[in-house]
Structure formats: structure tokens, C-alpha cells
Amino acid sequence: MSEMQTFGNRPRARALGIAVGALATGEFNAITDVHGVRVGHRTIIQGTGALVPGQGPVRTGVTAIIPHAGDLFLEKITGAVVRINGFGEVTNTQQIDEMGVMEGPIMLTNTMNVPRVADAVMDWAFEHSTDMNVTTWGISPVVAETSDNYLNDGRGRHVHREHVFEAIETARGGVVAEGAVGGGAGMICYEFKGGIGTASRVLPAALGGYTVGVLVQSNFGSRAKLRIDGVPVGRELLDYDERLQRESHGSVIVVVATDAPMTSRQLKRMGMRVAFGLARTGTQGGNTSGDFAICFSTARNRPHHSTTLTLPLTQVVEDGALINTLFDAVAEATEEAVLNSLFQAETMTGRDNRIIHALPLPETVEIMHKYGHHEVHLP
Amino acid sequence: MSEMQTFGNRPRARALGIAVGALATGEFNAITDVHGVRVGHRTIIQGTGALVPGQGPVRTGVTAIIPHAGDLFLEKITGAVVRINGFGEVTNTQQIDEMGVMEGPIMLTNTMNVPRVADAVMDWAFEHSTDMNVTTWGISPVVAETSDNYLNDGRGRHVHREHVFEAIETARGGVVAEGAVGGGAGMICYEFKGGIGTASRVLPAALGGYTVGVLVQSNFGSRAKLRIDGVPVGRELLDYDERLQRESHGSVIVVVATDAPMTSRQLKRMGMRVAFGLARTGTQGGNTSGDFAICFSTARNRPHHSTTLTLPLTQVVEDGALINTLFDAVAEATEEAVLNSLFQAETMTGRDNRIIHALPLPETVEIMHKYGHHEVHLP
Amino acid sequence: MSEMQTFGNRPRARALGIAVGALATGEFNAITDVHGVRVGHRTIIQGTGALVPGQGPVRTGVTAIIPHAGDLFLEKITGAVVRINGFGEVTNTQQIDEMGVMEGPIMLTNTMNVPRVADAVMDWAFEHSTDMNVTTWGISPVVAETSDNYLNDGRGRHVHREHVFEAIETARGGVVAEGAVGGGAGMICYEFKGGIGTASRVLPAALGGYTVGVLVQSNFGSRAKLRIDGVPVGRELLDYDERLQRESHGSVIVVVATDAPMTSRQLKRMGMRVAFGLARTGTQGGNTSGDFAICFSTARNRPHHSTTLTLPLTQVVEDGALINTLFDAVAEATEEAVLNSLFQAETMTGRDNRIIHALPLPETVEIMHKYGHHEVHLP
Amino acid sequence: MSEMQTFGNRPRARALGIAVGALATGEFNAITDVHGVRVGHRTIIQGTGALVPGQGPVRTGVTAIIPHAGDLFLEKITGAVVRINGFGEVTNTQQIDEMGVMEGPIMLTNTMNVPRVADAVMDWAFEHSTDMNVTTWGISPVVAETSDNYLNDGRGRHVHREHVFEAIETARGGVVAEGAVGGGAGMICYEFKGGIGTASRVLPAALGGYTVGVLVQSNFGSRAKLRIDGVPVGRELLDYDERLQRESHGSVIVVVATDAPMTSRQLKRMGMRVAFGLARTGTQGGNTSGDFAICFSTARNRPHHSTTLTLPLTQVVEDGALINTLFDAVAEATEEAVLNSLFQAETMTGRDNRIIHALPLPETVEIMHKYGHHEVHLP
């Protein structure tokens, strides 16, 4: 088993022989396979026992996705946010939709920390620009969230300026830590421990060899619905532990990156395929789900200031196999990224001594066998 | 096996023990389980052999979904159309979105017949109203389409006024004919013969006992992706026959009816779950897919003319189990309706002697067994 | 007075010295100032006296806007449709929004003729393509409408195949007939006779010298609200004639063409400025208004089939004066096109001997003087 | 002149005889005429002279609109946000659109303060709920912004927790302070001093006697375009002072309140009329405008928790005069609210000793006379 298949202490889905979809993965099977994309996490875990609202215990964090190595304000990336179920917040979506671009890093955190993280992104941007809000307008941060209230003291808003800076500044390419890290620290997926997961797909050379990378912050799903490569694993594990009784079906944020040159309209079409990828894991979203796809292309940056009247920009032709294979890539990588968030996350005890178990791997393998998937085995 | 499970000459999915989802079905496991909803088909099959553009062979038709027994113009139904992939036409979607209501029957046909069917709906409405376009405005027909070009002479636009009238006027409740009938006559699903399929779900009494009925006109999917209850049936059947080589991934129209009182905003939320239901059968939609959910509630009709300033209307509370179970019902019934369109449709030979095979049932059962679904058997 | 200012028997607004906005007009002050754009009308006027539903009198027609001289199916234009108030139909808007392109001519007609005109556009496309619906899919016509029920026998759907062909085939550049012609034949604007109006703006050379052309089919507005260059002309003319008592506020279709290279997202932004241009004439749209902006750029055509994976396409930079001046151009040309539809249209008697008067020019001049606009005079 | 016409030291538009539109105003001609709606401002003005980024001078503030007297989290108001030009932020718009409701006060501030104000709203909500983020989810604040960078040190984000609390807790009904107050402190309108403005309309008793109240934070417009009741006041005042040379066209936030029972869909239709109201003052929005309408109805509150499956809710009938008159009310009140922001605001000197002049009233009256509006006079 290569390192790529064991980012954490547990194996990734593919290390067990669970290889959903038909396309090849990138080198790291991660969003960082899209050239230039970096990821940084800051995980914040403090205290145990009974919830003291505003104090702890703390099971939260923040994740930064950095689209490119340049100035993220002056070189805006083409982007789009697609709403799947909108009971949640992604900041500045109207501006992204109006202008077709995003500014700055994409930040993932918990629900109540959105304002503090956005404020810290402003601080960070100010440090990199003496012009901002002096001779030009200010950055419009992109911050998305899911709620870790079940395990974490949400009221405390424990993600501070220094955590945000650290997530941004430690972001790197290559292997991405998954599971209960960064914004995913306190998240729950299909009533097992979830959090951050990532995956990628590379198109054949004849289709341009483009890469699609996905990173999820998974915090959704009722156990009974969980499917792994079509197998009703959740239904078979209903009695595995004391199940979570939550009112809500939770949420998921899915970040989709590609080096294929795509307009914001085309990226919206990509984002719609996220719903299909999620569905393959069993969910259909719930009433209070804040499920969003945040999509960007690294191949169509637009400068903040321009001295020309027009800009030549390349875009994918929407005819033939390329666009359809890009759609395949999004659905496949989304499905696998969710699985990786489950396979990588370890059991966590949080506020009020609530325990969320990791997906049990031996039992999962057994169930896969029961449903004919004999290619699956513990690594 | 009850009659309900063999609407056509072939069994329905449930007759083989394939019972996707967790909720109970309605009496007929059909959209007609929603009280007052009726369905009528007019199938048009003429000629064989080489295509003579504009002449034949003809493998097409039209389906009418009648939302209620009253005047469909004067008593408008609350409705919403959700775009999943918009390479297709549903007439009057902007008006439906603006006003939150639909007028008249919902018609399904092939792509090039949309104008003729819309024109015929006007004729039909005129026959039922001497006021229309004299003292009041005219009807805004709702006509949706998928393309049967592969088997049918699309250019000929063979659906005429009398066919439309017949579909509307023969519409009835109870058992709904499925497969290669009505608008679905010439349609193809996962490269097998598809067409019309339907299914329903009934909520527990504690959740109001509401019914959700779905009817699909299926014309989508590449073989390799087909999943039945999670099992990769398509992948296992790749060598079953000479496969279709189409540029396009095809389209699907999904009509969702419910007697739960839902606003147009709530119906849009329902329509989004159609994407998840479709995804469970393997697809993620293609570049040239015209995939739409057309949703209506029979419990919030709005009169064309009103003498009061305000109208009291009931709506579902979006808190707790009811709304989530309605979402479940949409996803489950959509999945099963697609399966029924495959299970019911029989092999068809069309233009240029092209053959589209029916999904082979013995092989399908065998594959289901291979993947642990021993509850499945030929009826 | 040049010919340009008297397309019809009456003068255009500018011939009276009413020159709204600040930008220069194109040569013809018409949508045809956008290079390659042609307009054709077929006006249908038959019979007088009492309405015989389905028979007459007939006061209707059809207008074709041809975006470029090439094959309108194989070379698709970048386009967008913006809904201002959606109580009306523009066909295939979902597809336009999904794909960012339009196919074929843009047709304007009356409400009930939409299906027949769409069907005729298919006929016309078939005549120009033996492949269509044989080896490729079919055209998705763009047909928009407003209702001429007040003067015309709407039920009769009097626009036939030959009228549509004639409008398309007689389309030409240069001077555009305005007023009660083509699709505008039976239309009413601010309770005066309206119909087709057009105008254009040319940007300074330093901003690329781009042209924006607008063509309206005006059928909206309550008299009391009419403003001409800010002057409350409608309020002053309330007692001019026996006013129309209509339930509805009517509708308007606004076609916006430009040779500036704009994406579909950018064209949506242009379309939003149509609302502002309309507002300058006094309206704010009514409950039953079907007000849409149909926008296209002639500088970013996309081929139906492409042998490359990507396409280099130029777009306007959204920074600085160019984009704002394009917005100015849309608002100005929309305002002036509405005025031209009023200034050009002549009094018409229609069904049931209903008379809709032309905007009275001497009175209008007098009112303009009363409000300080002494630059206005009869030509 | 009544007190109502002189909220500030300068008169309101109506006190000069400028009474745009046709409908009657409410008692205070303010958003507070909608029963239960309260407004609170906290203005922050500190320092003079050269900009020290992050320090000052400070010309900013925050405004709170309180929709009703109950618990703003547990009794959610039916609401909708309409984007006119989306280069700006209103927090949580996706959730509002998905669910059709808003939570908490509506806050207006400057651009860079959005996160801090949102965070403070959370603090405030926590103080009013021990359950929040413990047994239930947290509040989704609604914070909107325009940029006061020209006069203010935007980088400093000078709106703090205590200012937000003060704005919320001092909110009251009746007369609303206008001009350079609260969120409007540093704003600029048509290159004159702008800020907060408000107006209202009351429908006739036969149409239910409903009230529509509007409050704007005006920060938009190029001088040349300014129209007052149709008169080109801005063009006539081009040489009045040294004009602002800004790259941006600025932004405006328009809050629309009504006691008419309207669904979120209907409120979106209301919001669209804001664009028409703004247009009457001359603007068409600019490339970098963040122009939004935030609309709510006080007559359809929805409880956070509900023990029933369905909820009976009343809505306005969209047929006949009521809905159209509500549209009139929005356009009229928006126009007048913008004028009030101009008429009430006084000349301000800000960062770098930049001066923005108040609209000069004597000159304005003179211009109104020149254009025939002899009913206008200084009070």
C-alpha cells in the first residue's frame, strides 16, 4: 500500500480496493493534483466533558484551499457556487455569480465561525496589500461552513485570527490530511465520524489530460442511507452502535478544482454533478442541509485591473466527450472524497462525552463481500 | 403477482423483488395514486425500414398528465419546474416560476413535436372555454420533451391535434401503462428500451399520509453506468448486445405530483431530489441532457379569477420529519419509476432497422444475485 | 429631417429633438447598426368589425431578427434571456441559460401564435439542413410574444408558415420599419398605439467603438405613468381620448444586440439594464407582464460541431469605463426604442371597432414645452 | 411644514412639494409605518485629516431594521432578497432563498464591517437565547453593505460589538433619522452626500389598506444621471462643485417591508420593482454596484419549531388591482426614499479632507422650476 492510500492512520477507500468510477486518479488522488492548488488545515481540539456554552469542549477548526500561487486578490479565479440545498452559508455567492470570479482563499469552518474567519481573511489580505481599501476596494472572502454543534461548543466560535492565518500559510500541495482535521474536525457523516475527504480524476491525454480535484467537508447523511459503491453498508450497520439522534440531516461543502479552462457558466454545470456524486453515497440532502459546490478553474484567471478593453480567454468546447468526461470526473471524485472522509476519520469523543464512531472497516469489508464485492479487503 | 406489478407484458421492478427505498407504495405504485391525477397515452407506431425524413418510420407519441378533475385553466395548480440539465425544452417555465402555478394538462412528447402539441393544447382549451382570448387571456401550455430521433422520424412531427386530444381525453386513474407508450414510445434508457415509468410513495399516517407520485419519460444514460438498487447491472451487461453509439447522453422528464400542500418554493426543493433519485440509477446527466423535474401539488389550487384580496393556503411545515420524508419519497419514487420504464419496455425496431433491446430480465436477476441480492427473482 | 428620422409616415422621437441619453446613435439608430443583424416583418391585417373568435378581425404579425448572415444553427450566437416579469413565454430559455447560446432567428409574434411560429421555424431550418434530426439534433427556436388580444382575434392564431418564412427571408439591414408592423401590428403602449421600435448607441472609439442595438415589441404601460425624457406626458394626456380599460398592464419584449464580445453571463448583466431603460418611460411592469430581454453578442459565435477541445473566445473586461458604457447604451437605446414605437405607430381600429390612438404629436410637443424642453418641436 | 417633513436639519423631499408617485404616504412616510417595524442607528464619526489606514478618520456606522417585536429567531419573517447588480454582499441569501424566511434584525453597514456586524448579531442572539447552538442551531444574520471608502477608513472596520447592540436596542418606531446616519454615515449618492432615506405608501382601504415601507442606504450614481421627478437635476448641477472622480458607480441597499401577506415568491416580485424605483432617480447600476432589495412581510411569520404538520398562511391574490398597486408602492417609495437620503444628508468632510457636498436645495428648486415644476419651493 502506497503512502497515497494512507494519508491518516487509517487507510483510504482505494487502499481497500474500493475504486469507484472509471477514470484514473491523479498522483495524490487529492484536490492538490490540480496544479497550484494547496490545502492547509488548522485543527482545534481542547477540553472534554460537559458543554459549557461559549467555553468548550472544542472540536473544530478551519481549512484553507489556495487556488494558485499568485496574489489571490489581484489574480481572481473563474468560479461558481452551486446550491444543492441552501440551508447554510457561503459568503459572497451573489458577487461570485454576478462576476464569475472569486477572490482569495476558500475557507471551510463551522457555522458560527463564518464571520470571524471572513474577518481574519480580510486581515490577511490587508497584510498582503497596502492598497486595499485605500486606493482599491476590499477583498470579498469566500467562507463556507457546516455545523459541528453535536461534538463542539459552537457558541464559542473558537476559530481565531491566528488559526486562519496558520491554515492559509501552512497550505501545501501533495498529500492532504483527511478526516477529523481543519474545518472537518468535528463533523459527522452518515452518523459516523466524517470531516475532510479528497479525491481527483485525470482525463485521458486525448481529452486534454485535464485534472479535476475535489475536497469535501462532510457532515451529512442518515446512517440507513449510506452506500459504498452501491452496497447498502449503512443499512447493514444500523445496529453497530448507539445511533445518533439528530433532528437535522447535516450538510456538506464540496470544493471542485480543475485546470480545464471553464467559464463560470460551465463551472455551474460541473457543480450540478456534485449532487449526483453525493447521491451515489446514499443521501438526497435534508431540509436543513447547507449543501453547496464551490467550483473553480485555474486556467482562466482574471486580473483585478486591466489596461485592455477585452481579454482572450479559452474555454472547454461543450460538444463531444470532453465535457461529459469532466462531468464524470466531478461525480466520481465527489463520491470518493466522501468515502475518504469516512475511511480516514477516527472515532471522536466531544462535548457532553458524546462519541461518534469511525466507520468500522472490518465490518465494512464483510458487508462489501456479502454484496459481491470480493475485490475489497483490508490493506 | 398482482396486476399492479404487471402493467405491461413484462413485470415491474417490484414484481422481481426489487423494492428500492424504505417507504410504502400507493395502491397502484403510480402517479395516479395522488388523488385526482390521471394519465393518458397516445402511441404512434407506423412503418418500418429506412428513414425517409419527414415520412417515417414513426415511433413516437404523446402522454397527458391531468392534475385534477376540474377546469385546468380556471383552477390553476401550484407548481414548479426544476432544471437539472437544461439542454431541452419545457414550455412556459418562466411563467411557472414567476407565478408559482401551472395551467392545463402536462404533456410529454418528442422534441420536435413540442410546438404542435402546445398548439393542440390551445385548441383543446378553446373547446372548453368560449371566454379564452375573448374576455380573458389564453392558456400557457406545459409541454416537455425528450428526443426519439434514434428510432423515430423526428423531422416528421407525427403527433397531431387528434393524438393530443386523445391522450387528454382518455386519461384515467388507476393502472398506468408503462414502457414504449405515449411520449415514451421511442425512448431509450441506459441503451436499453425505455420510455414511461411510474411509481409512488405513501407517507405514514403520523406524517399526514400524503402521497407522492412520479412519472418519468426516460431517454437517458450510458449503459456502463446503470445501477439497479446499487448493483452495477450496466457494467455487467456491456457485452449483452451491440451497444448504441450515440453522441448524446439523452434526457429525462420527471413529473412529481403530491397531495401534500406545498408552495412553489417547496416544490422546487422537491424537484431537486429528483436529481438524487436519478443518480441512484447511475447517471449524472450529460452535456446535451434536457433533464427537468415538473412538480405540482394538488392541495393548493389557485382560481383564475378571485373576488377576494387574499387567499388562505395551507403549506407543509419545514421542520421535522414530514419535509424530509417527502424528499425521501421523491428520490425513491424517481428511482423506481426509472426502473419500471426499463422493466416494462419491450424490444423495439425503429428507423433504419435499428434495434433497441429490452433490459434482459433473466440476466438482470443473475447479476443481482451475484451482488448479494438474493431476494430478486423472476416472477 | 433625414430619412433616418422618418422610417414611417410619422417622425421618430429624435426628429422632434427628443434625444434621450448621452451616447451617439448608430447610422440608422436601429438594431441593424450592429453589423450583420437584419430585421424582417410580416404584418397581417384583415377584416373589420365584431370579433368572430377564431376568424377575425386580424391585427397581428411576426418579426424576425437575424443575428448574422451565416448558418444560424451551425454557428450559434452567444446569448442570454433575462426575465423582468415572467408572465409570458420565450421558448427555450432554459437551454439558452444552460448553454449560453441561441440558435436560429429570434421571432416576435403574438401570444397564441408562439407554437405555430416555432413549428414554422423548424420547417425553415429543415429546408436549410438535410442533416437536422437525421444525423444531428434539431433546432431550438427562440420565439417571444406579447398579446394583441385587445385589437386582434388572438384565438385564430393567424400567423402561418408562409408568414414566418416571409419575415425571415425578407429580413434586411438598414432602416427598420417601426410601429404597427410585424409582431407589433396589434400592440398597445401606455394605452396609445405601440408595436415595434428600435434604436442604437455607438461607443466612443476609445471604448472600442462597439455598437449596441435594441428592438422592442412594446405592449405595456398604463397611460398615467408615461414619461418622455422625464416629462409626465401620460398624466397630461389622461383626458386626451377614451382610455383603455384593461385588466392587464401588458408586456414588452426587448431584443439587445451588440458586437462587443460578451459572455452569456455578461449579456445577462446587459439584460438587467433593460429594466432601467423601460423604467425611464414610466412603467414598473405589471402582475401579468411578460417582460423579457433577449440579448446576444455577434462576436463570440460557437460552432455546432467542433474538432478541438477548447475554444479561444474574447470577452469584454469588466473593469473601467467600457462595461459601464455598454450598460448606459442598453438603458438609453431601450428608452429610445420604446419612444420610437410610440412615435411611429399610427392609430388603429381593430376587433369590435376598438380604436387605439397614436400618441398625439402636437400635444406631446406642447407638454414637453410646458416642462422646459424647448428643444422639442414638430419636424 | 410638519415635523414629519423635517426629520433632520434639512427638509425632506415632500416638504419642498416633491411628491413622486400617486399613492398616499403613511403617517411618518417611513418604513416604520409598517406596524411593528423599528429602526435604530449608531453613527461613528471620529477624527479628521489624512487617512491612516486602519486608524481613521472614521465616517461609518450601522443601522438595524427590526421586523417585529417578538423573538426574531423563533418567529422568522417571510422574506426574499433580490439581486439587481450583485457586486456586493448580503449575508445568508442562499438560505433566505431556500427557506423563504429571514432570522433576526436586518443590519446595514459598510463593506468591510460585514463580518464583525454578523458576529455581533450572533452575540446579541446568544444573549437572548440560552438554547442557541446548544439544543438548536444558530442564527443566520442578515447583514448588507455599501462601501464608504471614499470618506471613511474602511480598513479599520470601526463598527464594533457595542455599536451593533446599540443600533438594535435603540431601534424604535415613528420618525426615522435620515441622511448621514447609521450605516449611511459615509455614503455618497449621485456624487452628493447620501446615506439613509425612507418613505412609505399606504394602499386604499378597498385594496386592504396595506402599507409598504422602504428604507435605503444610498451610495450610488453618477451626477450626470440624477433625476428628480423626471427633471435632469444632475445634468444641470454638473458644474456645481468639484465632482467626485470615482471608478465605481457605487451601490444601494433597499429594504422593503410590508404588512401585506406575501410569500417569498411574491416578495421577489416586489423586489424587482425596486430596480424600477431606482431607475426613476436616473441610475441603471454600475459594474461594481452591489444593489440588492431585501424584502419582508410581517404578516406571515413562521415559528422556528412547530408541532403541526402544516401551517395555514394567507397570501395576496395575484389578480386585479392589489398586486399591481403593491408594485406601484414599492417603486414610488423607493424613488422617494432615495430622494430623502439626498435631501436630508448634510455636507461631510472625511478622510484626506475630502468633501462631499449636500444636494444644494435652492439650486434644485430653481432647476425644478426651469422644468415646469412650479409646485416645488423651499419650505
Q: 3-state DSSP call for residue A298?
A: strand
Q: Which helix (H) or strand (E) holds D337?
A: helix D321-344
Rounded to whole angstroms, the Cα distance separating D23 from D329 reads: 7
Question: Is residue A368 within 8 Å of A8, Cβ to Cβ?
Answer: no
* For residue D157, pLDDT beyond 50: yes
Domains (range + CATH), chain C: 24-364 (3.60.70.12)
Q: State pLDDT tens for residues B183-236.
A: 999 999 999 999 999 999 999 999 999 999 999 999 999 999 999 999 999 999
The one catalytic residue among C218, C251, C264, C297? C251
Report the residue from C309, C314, C319 with minimal CB separation from A322: C309
Nearest CA in chain D to A117: D115
| B 218-247 → D contacts, CB under 8 A | none
| pLDDT computed for residue B5 by the predictor | 64
**ipTM score for this prediction:** 0.96
D135 in contact with chain B, both atoms CB, cutoff 8 A: no
Distance from CA of C284 to the nearest CA of D (A): 5
What is the mean pLDDT of the segment spanning D242-252?
Answer: 78
Banded pLDDT at A169 (limits 50, 70, 90): very high
Give the count of alpha carbons within 13 A of D265, CB side only. 24
* For residue C206, pLDDT beyond 60: yes
Give the count of alpha carbons within 13 A of C264, CB side only. 24
What is the mean pLDDT of the segment spanning C190-209?
Answer: 97
* For residue B1, pLDDT beyond 50: no
Q: State pLDDT tens for residues B282-294.
A: 999 999 999 999 9
Q: State pLDDT tens for residues A210-227.
A: 999 999 999 999 999 999
| CA-angle at A128, arms to A123 and A130, nearest 5° | 90
> What grid cell was written down for D1?
411644514
Banded pLDDT at B2 (limits 50, 70, 90): very low
The residue to which cell 389564453 is assigned: B138
Question: Is residue B267 within 8 Å of B80, Cβ to Cβ?
Answer: yes
B291 is catalytic: yes
Rounded to whole angstroms, the Cα distance separating A220 from C170 reads: 60
Banded pLDDT at B6 (limits 50, 70, 90): low
Q: Which chains touch D (3 or more CB pairs under 8 A)?
A: A, B, C
| pLDDT computed for residue B62 by the predictor | 98
| pLDDT computed for residue B30 by the predictor | 98
The residue to which cell 383552477 is assigned: B75
Contact D95 A87 (CB under 8 A): yes
Q: 3-state DSSP call for residue A178?
A: coil
Closest by Cα among B277, B306, B305, B153 to B212: B277
Closest by Cα among D119, D253, D123 to D182: D253
B314 in contact with chain D, both atoms CB, cutoff 8 A: yes
Tell me the pLDDT of chain D averaged across its residues.
95
| B 145-164 → D contacts, CB under 8 A | none
The residue to which cell 447511475 is assigned: B282
Q: State pLDDT tens for residues C52-75.
A: 999 999 999 999 999 999 999 999
**How many CB atoms within 10 Å of residue C357?**
18
The residue to which cell 426615522 is assigned: D176
With the C-alpha atoms ordered B186, B187, B188, B189, is the resulting torsion angle positive or negative? negative
| pLDDT computed for residue A123 by the predictor | 98
| CA-angle at C366, arms to C362 and C372, nearest 5° | 145
C251 is catalytic: yes
- Residues of chain D in contact with residue B98, where contact means CB-CB under 8 angstroms, are 269
| pLDDT computed for residue B326 by the predictor | 98
Q: State pLDDT tens for residues C305-364.
A: 888 999 999 999 998 899 999 999 999 999 999 999 999 999 999 999 999 999 999 999
* For residue C225, pLDDT beyond 90: yes
* DSSP β-ladder status, B188-189 and D75-86: unpaired
* For residue D2, pLDDT beyond 50: no
* For residue C19, pLDDT beyond 70: yes
What is the mean pLDDT of the segment spanning C248-261?
Answer: 94
Banded pLDDT at C1 (limits 50, 70, 90): very low
Residue A361: exposure state from Cβ atoms within 10 A (0-12, 13-18, ≥19)? middle
Nearest CA in chain C to B124: C155
Q: State pLDDT tens for residues B299-316.
A: 999 998 888 999 999 999
| pLDDT computed for residue C6 by the predictor | 64
DSSP A235-288: HHTTTSSPPP--SS-EEEEEEEEESS---HHHHHHHHHHHHHHHHTTT----TT
Question: Is residue A36 within 8 Å of A46, Cβ to Cβ?
Answer: no
DSSP C134: T
What is the mean pLDDT of the segment spanning D265-274?
Answer: 98
What is the mean pLDDT of the segment spanning B134-161?
Answer: 96
| B 286-305 → C contacts, CB under 8 A | 288, 290, 292
| pLDDT computed for residue D5 by the predictor | 64
Q: State pLDDT tens for residues B246-267.
A: 656 799 999 999 999 999 999 9
Report the residue from B91, B95, B149 with minimal CB separation from C87: B95
Banded pLDDT at A5 (limits 50, 70, 90): low
What is the mean pLDDT of the segment spanning D32-54?
Answer: 98
Rounded to whole angstroms, the Cα distance separating D92 from D112 reads: 16
Residues of D labelled catalytic: 251, 289, 291
Question: Is residue C349 within 8 Å of C295, Cβ to Cβ?
Answer: no
Q: State pLDDT tens for residues A233-275.
A: 999 999 998 877 665 679 999 999 999 999 999 999 999 999 9
Banded pLDDT at C246 (limits 50, 70, 90): low
Residue of higher predicted confidence among C42 and D319: C42
* DSSP β-ladder status, D38-46 and D58-66: antiparallel
Contacts for C101 with CB less than 8 Å, ≥ 6 apart: C76, C77, C78, C79, C264, C302
Contact B137 C122 (CB under 8 A): no
